[in-house]
Amino acid sequence: MSEKQNEINGFPWGHKRRFNAFPDYFRKIFGARIQKVSIDAGFTCPNRDGTKSLGGCTYCNNRAFNPSYCNPEKSITQQIEEGILFHRKRYKEAVSYLAYFQAYSNTYAPLENLEKYYAEALNFPGVVGLVIGTRPDCIDNEKLKFLKKLSESFYISVEYGIESCYNKTLKRINRAHTFEEAVEALEATAKMGINTGAHFIFGLPGETKEEMLNEAAIISNLPLNTVKFHQLQIIKGTPMEAEFIKNPDDFTLFSLEEYLDFFASFLERLNPEIVVERFTGEAPPRYLSQLVWGKKRTDQLVELIEKHLVNLNTWQGRLYPYKTTA
């Protein structure tokens, strides 16, 4: 598709932004802006409690990305109330909300517990659905059947932390599951007609830029509705910080300019049907071992990436389908 055609017809996703953008995706579904409100319901993970491993993912400190109002000592209702007030200061146009079960693995509990937690969130006025962050090994057919039933009345999305398409990386960062398990969970969820999301990190130890770029082809073939990407950030006090201090050459900490170039190359190889929710991650500077990009906020980074796409005259899926370079 030429630039002139783009100006006349728009991109395949029906708007002028150069990627299949998450806010526009929800405007199509609901006719208005939808805001996610994070919840910490007190879950854990099987690679933390000893079921599969201990210590959790080597990069993880949930306090680094949990909003200040999230606290499992508060009720789900109280967290939603405070979250709505928190977001109204920044996103005044939001009229409906998605309850985002974010911290740790939010299907890692007996079904009767999940039914109670999810019902409390869905009963809150203005909440139109759930986004459930979890791991591929914390879902089963019984839970999927329950979520399918919920999806008949609400927007339901299961967002899987996958992080990498390479098992060597997943082992190194102590995910304690394989990429094949992630694919199986995504396929089972999509088969039920439930919306699927995934999360990936660029710069994990031992991965080359070529390997990261080649993930575009792999991810493009997954049954995904939405996807989040972010650059690796070294969080203070994590096992990964100790590993980084010992072997810094094993890591790719992109400079901002490098990441703009890398992500533009990645995005133009990505299936244009997949909605991109996030390009970058943002943790409070006090948690960061390496302040690589200064104190730029997410909205500033999105603006920089979009300007870079314009300057390069490229867009999501321009080179799709893309074959990996082995």
Q: Which two structure tokens, joined as six digits, stand for 37?
A: 């409100």
**Alpha carbons 308 and 257: distance in angstroms, whole number:** 10
pTM of the model: 0.92
Is 31 exposed, middle or buried (CB count within 10 Å of its CB: 0-12, 13-18, 19+)?
Answer: exposed
Please give the average per-residue pLDDT across 56-70, as a whole number.
83
**Alpha carbons 251 and 253: distance in angstroms, whole number:** 6
Q: Which domain holds residue 31?
A: 3-312
For residue 92, the model assigns a pLDDT of 65
For residue 14, being part of any structural domain is answered with yes
Judge whether 316 and 276 are in contact, CB under 8 Å: yes
Judge whether 74 and 29 are in contact, CB under 8 Å: no
For residue 84, being part of any structural domain is answered with yes
- 262-306 pLDDT per residue, tens: 999 999 999 999 999 999 988 887 888 877 787 778 888 999 999
**Alpha carbons 53 and 272: distance in angstroms, whole number:** 37
Residue type, 84: I
Q: The tokens 């879950």 sit on which residue?
A: 43
Tell which residue, 159, 221, 165, has the closest CA to residue 195.
159
**Alpha carbons 83 and 146: distance in angstroms, whole number:** 26
Instruction: Establish how many alpha carbons lie within 13 A of residue 304's alpha carbon, considering only the half-sphere containing its beta carbon.
Output: 16
Helix, strand, coil percent content, the chain, rounded in steps of 5: 40, 15, 45
For residue 291, the model assigns a pLDDT of 75
Strand order in the sheet with 155-163: 34-39, 96-101, 127-134, 155-163, 195-202, 226-231, 275-278
For residue 324, being part of any structural domain is answered with no
**Mean pLDDT over all residues of the chain?**
91
For residue 5, the model assigns a pLDDT of 46
Judge whether 68 and 198 are in contact, CB under 8 Å: no
For residue 317, being part of any structural domain is answered with no
For residue 1, the model assigns a pLDDT of 47
Please give the average per-residue pLDDT across 181-190, as a whole number.
98
For residue 7, the model assigns a pLDDT of 44
Q: Provide the 3-class DSSP secondary structure of residue 5.
A: helix
As a whole-number percent, the residues of the chain with pLDDT over 70 amount to 94
For residue 287, the model assigns a pLDDT of 83
Q: In CATH, what number is assigned to the domain containing residue 130?
A: 3.20.20
Tell which residue, 304, 326, 226, 220, has the closest CA to residue 258.
304
pLDDT bracket for residue 119 (50, 70, 90): very high
Measured CA distances, 153 to 99, 209, 235, 281 (Å): 15, 42, 39, 31
For residue 318, being part of any structural domain is answered with no
Q: Is 62 left (phi over 0), alpha (psi -120 to 50) or beta?
A: alpha
- The partner residues of 38 in beta bridges, in order of sequence, read 100
Count of domains for the chain: 1
- 39-56 pLDDT per residue, tens: 999 999 999 999 999 999
- The partner residues of 199 in beta bridges, in order of sequence, read 161, 228
For residue 115, being part of any structural domain is answered with yes
For residue 322, being part of any structural domain is answered with no
For residue 160, being part of any structural domain is answered with yes
Q: Look at 12-16, 140-144, 273-277 and tell me which has the smallest mean pLDDT.
A: 12-16
